[in-house]
Chain A
Amino acid sequence: MEPKKPPQDFTLRVRRYDPESGEAPYWDEHTIQLEPHRSVLEGLLQAKGRFDGSIGVRCSCKAAICGSCGVRVNGQPGLACHTHLGDALKTAKNGVIDVEPMGNMPVIKDLIVDMDAVHWKKIQRVTPWLLADDENMPEREHIVPKEAMVDVTQTMACIQCGACVSDCLSMEVDPLFIGPAALAKSYRFVGDPRDTQQAERLKDIAEDPHGMYSCTHCFKCIEACPKGVAPMSQIMRLRRRATGDHHIKDRNNGFNHEKAFVKNINKNGLLHENDLLADSFGGKLNPASGLFLAKSLPVITRALLRGKATLKVALLHPHKAPADVKRIFDTIENRDKRNEFNLYISGTDEDNAPNQPEEAPQNGAHAGQEATA
């Protein structure tokens, strides 16, 4: 263990808002004294205890378990209790640590936001309870694979803090987007073998115009999540289940687009965007494809004018993928099941041997991230 550093001064600049004052929000500075490995929450509590008890912040466990203290520190969403003062100082401008309420939710007072109005409403949107087969409930427990329960533990690890909701870019553009936390919650049931309505759940969030296809893969929620839930990874898994397992066609034509993508690479080795569009609508001869092509004429014209596409390439490009690409496809397609990375399933069998100090540290959040990057 490294020796701990002694207490030092930190200046916290807290975004304050008093709804009763009729005044606009303002910044309020307090200098607190703590060791750098103490949390921003401990800093706030010291300021509250010593200088100003009126600073509003929800908090309870101080250990990143209860999910109360979601805030933005220097613009980054997360838990105040899970952010070290020393680390916060490194990203601070002019040596002052900014603490603000989370985004995408209305502020009630100071750092306290209205989670009910946004976060919990969205959670309720995904039928957030198990739909087991009540008619045929076993007397004892359901017999389910060990891996399945470990798998859904990653989404059970969500503490509903709202950090992912705070900075969801899609939600900023479309406030009706179901959002990362609720979609991760949805995976908790879609991935649970005891749930009897998985196809219906997937259909529901695939067909919703603000559903799972509104995520733009920006990674913000993965960065924000203090528990390694990796909501975006869960959204991608929902999509893979919807398309790959249940053949659900979604309103954005994402399913066919994905299939066209895979077909394109499989056939050509490289992506030929000229085919991609047509294939996404069932091939060049499909009437839907023709309609979409007609609608896309301005785009196609611009592409031709700028040399991004040429008629020669569009019509006469080689249709042959190299052997290596074929081999990759064969390997993946011959697997019994899809490999999915999970926070709780990490490492290899060799890790079963006790303590291997020379090994690089495992980072669960990264394992999840690589899966979908």
Chain B
Amino acid sequence: MPSHDVLIIGAGLAGQRAALAAAETGVTVAIMSKVHPVRSHSVAAAGGINAAVSVDDDWRSHAYDTVKGSDFLGDQDAIEVMCSEAPKEVMHLEHIGVTFHRNETGHLDLRAFGGASVKRTAYVADITGQAILHVLYEQLMKHHETVDRYEEWFTTSLILDAEGTCTGCVARHIRTGRMEVFTAKNVILASGGAGQVWKPTTNALICTADGIAQAYRVGVPLMDMEMIQYHPTTLVENGFLITEGARGEGAHLLNKDGERFMEKYAPNKMELASRDVVSRAEQTEINEGRGVGLNGEGIYLDITVVPKKRTLEALREIVNIGKDFAGVDITREPILIRPGQHYIMGGVKTDIDGATPVKGLYAAGEVACVSVHGGNRLGANSLLDTLIFGRRSGEHAAERSKHMAMPVNDDAILKRDEAMISEIINRPKTGRRISEIKDELGTIMNQKLAVYRDEAGMLEAQEVVKRLKEESRSAYIDDRGTVFNQDVLGAIELGYMLDAAECCVLAALERKESRGAQFRTDYPERNDEEWQKHINTTITADDEPAITYSPVTITQWQPEERKY
């Protein structure tokens, strides 16, 4: 039975950063992921990472922009930590090898991004996430003697002891089908978000709410689950992401009359207002008949106004995406986009050290909710969030490990999970297919938990999710093998996604106001008096979520009207 001081589940930016930080303190560390680390979805983060590194900038300005971006739902103590530590973290990345692009004087170049009052986004062309992820993996290869890697291991459950402390997990080696108990003094969840609950989404197929549901199932509260970010520029064609960097470099949004409509919604920041504001503006244009494309369901993103040389140097990836996935040369013609599901601000509730209310369990990155993003995340703050709170969790978990003995686990959970898997594999082919249920879930969530929401629609979604949850219990699979049985993993992931969807719908129904990414047509105003608080969902004995509240931490910025 493998045992480690610190076990990290998930190997994107948050996980790898946590592993490297923990290993530096000399404790034993392992990192586990259901995919090879460089396949993690952090690879898709394009535009950059925010940090007040410029001499004209101040971290407090970054913090205020983040608080305002969050629509005053973000916890300001956590935001202060993130923004004040950001410059040091970016310098650390530069020192270990990230190839940040430079300006003419050889210093870090910075680009404009949504919701930011100055240029403060460091970048590597439009492959920033990829560059950082690959450089962190270079470091994992360098430190292979101090960080054990379990690549292509799928976590099925977290293990809690009798006192309710997390002592490890059960995982399946995808290549052999072997199940194993991993014992750890501390576990850090860094397994990413829940994008696959929606269809379409910019998120990869692996983003199936694994860690969110695993933590929820052992009693950890999920916070801000109603806050779902719709990114303003996703391809109408297939939901692929077009980086905010495009607007950062100067691209325009146009409606069918060729009008830069953002003038009406955010006269100061225009296309670079925060994402919730831009997505709502686009959806309003579309709903009011000023959309473009086949059914007027899109908006034009015009990148041709950016000098071509600059586009080729700094936006190469979206040149490729336009050409390969939409048949459009973005240096010559506008491309059809619309708001699409992109990010979940909510997740496993943690403090500023990544610690969850369950002892021995940490969370960092998109799986977690600190909450630094509150009602709406600013572009280029997600990479920062993963790295800052990844590192802090790693350090804190390592420190905690030094003062305790290695826990002892039995194989009860292992036996339970083995039985669960064999039950799925042996189901008769009488129920529905997993893929059908997943499609139906994605479609209803995208219709009813979208940019605009109302009670009737969300109640309908709640009914559908409930039925799908029931149907998932008898859904069958084809693969009965043990080697790379992706089919059975798909069935387990569907369960994770349904749990996350259930909490999201419940929290969105509960919040009877409009704030950040949640806009309710039946409660169109922000209501600070009643709803300036976090909504938490916690599992109950009958396997249903229950609501509790927690206060929003305010340090120096009182809520005010939000205008861009």
A, B co-complexed: yes
| In contact, B130 and A65 (Cβ under 8 angstroms) | yes
Given contacts A1-B327, A129-B139, A364-B316, contact A54 B481 (CB under 8 A): yes
- By a CB distance below 8 angstroms, the chain A residues around B435 are 48-50, 53
| In contact, A108 and B484 (Cβ under 8 angstroms) | yes
Binary CB contact string for chain B from 392 to 406 against chain A (1 if under 8 A, 0 otherwise): 000000000000000
| In contact, B44 and A66 (Cβ under 8 angstroms) | yes
| In contact, A59 and B127 (Cβ under 8 angstroms) | no
**CB of B304 within 8 A of chain A?**
yes
Chain B residue nearest to A123 (CB atoms) is B141
| In contact, A82 and B324 (Cβ under 8 angstroms) | yes
Binary CB contact string for chain B from 141 to 154 against chain A (1 if under 8 A, 0 otherwise): 11000000001000
Binary CB contact string for chain A from 90 to 131 against chain B (1 if under 8 A, 0 otherwise): 000000000000000000111010011000000110001110
**CB of A192 within 8 A of chain B?**
yes
**CB of A300 within 8 A of chain B?**
no
How close is B317's CB to chain A, nearest CB, in angstroms?
A: 7
A65 touches which of B44, B103, B306 (Cβ 8 Å): B44
**CB of A219 within 8 A of chain B?**
no
- By a CB distance below 8 angstroms, the chain A residues around B206 are 60
- By a CB distance below 8 angstroms, the chain A residues around B304 are 354-355
Which residues of A (314-373) have their CB < 8 Å from a CB of B?
A: 343-349, 351-357, 361-362, 364
| In contact, A62 and B204 (Cβ under 8 angstroms) | yes
Chain B residue nearest to A3 (CB atoms) is B294
| In contact, A149 and B99 (Cβ under 8 angstroms) | yes
- By a CB distance below 8 angstroms, the chain B residues around A2 are 327
B44 touches which of A61, A116, A348, A352 (Cβ 8 Å): A61
**CB of B450 within 8 A of chain A?**
no
**CB of A170 within 8 A of chain B?**
no
A66 to B45, CA, bound (A): 11
**CB of A32 within 8 A of chain B?**
no
| In contact, A347 and B308 (Cβ under 8 angstroms) | yes
**CB of A295 within 8 A of chain B?**
no
**CB of B39 within 8 A of chain A?**
yes
**CB of A288 within 8 A of chain B?**
no
Chain A residue nearest to B143 (CB atoms) is A129
A60 touches which of B104, B205, B325 (Cβ 8 Å): B205
- By a CB distance below 8 angstroms, the chain B residues around A65 are 43-44, 130, 317
**CB of B31 within 8 A of chain A?**
no
Given contacts A56-B486, A137-B95, A351-B307, contact A128 B138 (CB under 8 A): yes
B308 touches which of A49, A59, A116, A351 (Cβ 8 Å): A351
Which residues of B (261-306) have their CB < 8 Å from a CB of A?
A: 304-306
A54 touches which of B35, B436, B479 (Cβ 8 Å): B479
A53 touches which of B94, B107, B109, B490 (Cβ 8 Å): B490
| Segment of B180-188, B330-338, B352-360, B546-554 in the binding face | B330-338
Given contacts A2-B327, A153-B124, A344-B312, contact A355 B41 (CB under 8 A): no
B327 touches which of A37, A129, A139, A356 (Cβ 8 Å): A37
| In contact, B483 and A19 (Cβ under 8 angstroms) | yes
**CB of B456 within 8 A of chain A?**
no
- By a CB distance below 8 angstroms, the chain B residues around A54 are 478-481, 485, 487
Which residues of A (138-188) have their CB < 8 Å from a CB of B?
A: 139-146, 148-150, 152-153, 156-160, 188
Interface band, chain B: 35 or more
- By a CB distance below 8 angstroms, the chain B residues around A200 are none
- By a CB distance below 8 angstroms, the chain A residues around B313 are 150, 344-346
Which residues of B (8-54) have their CB < 8 Å from a CB of A?
A: 35-36, 38-41, 43-44, 53
A192 to B433, CA, bound (A): 50
Binary CB contact string for chain A from 240 to 251 against chain B (1 if under 8 A, 0 otherwise): 000000000000
Which residues of B (461-496) have their CB < 8 Å from a CB of A?
A: 477-487, 490
Pick from B95, B99, B312, B481 the residue with the most CB of A within 10 Å: B99
How close is B421's CB to chain A, nearest CB, in angstroms?
A: 14
**CB of A20 within 8 A of chain B?**
yes
**CB of B102 within 8 A of chain A?**
yes
**CB of A210 within 8 A of chain B?**
no
| In contact, A146 and B130 (Cβ under 8 angstroms) | no
A221 to B43, CA, bound (A): 23
Which residues of B (137-173) have their CB < 8 Å from a CB of A?
A: 138-139, 141-142, 151
| In contact, B127 and A152 (Cβ under 8 angstroms) | no
How close is B150's CB to chain A, nearest CB, in angstroms?
A: 12
**CB of A64 within 8 A of chain B?**
yes
| In contact, A67 and B141 (Cβ under 8 angstroms) | no
How close is A279's CB to chain B, nearest CB, in angstroms?
A: 40
B94 touches which of A58, A67, A142 (Cβ 8 Å): A142
13 contacts between A and B (CB under 8 A): A53-B434, A56-B486, A60-B205, A60-B206, A61-B43, A63-B325, A130-B135, A146-B101, A146-B104, A149-B102, A153-B124, A156-B131, A351-B312
B residues neighboring A (CB under 8 Å): 35-36, 38-41, 43-44, 53, 91, 94-97, 99-109, 124-125, 127, 130-131, 134-135, 138-139, 141-142, 151, 175, 204-206, 237-238, 240-241, 304-310, 312-313, 316-317, 320-321, 324-329, 331-333, 336, 433-436, 477-487, 490
Beyond A349-B309, A355-B305, A364-B312, 18 additional pairs, beta carbon < 8 A: A53-B434, A60-B41, A63-B241, A64-B320, A67-B43, A108-B483, A128-B138, A139-B91, A150-B125, A152-B99, A153-B99, A194-B97, A227-B320, A351-B309, A352-B309, A352-B310, A357-B332, A364-B316
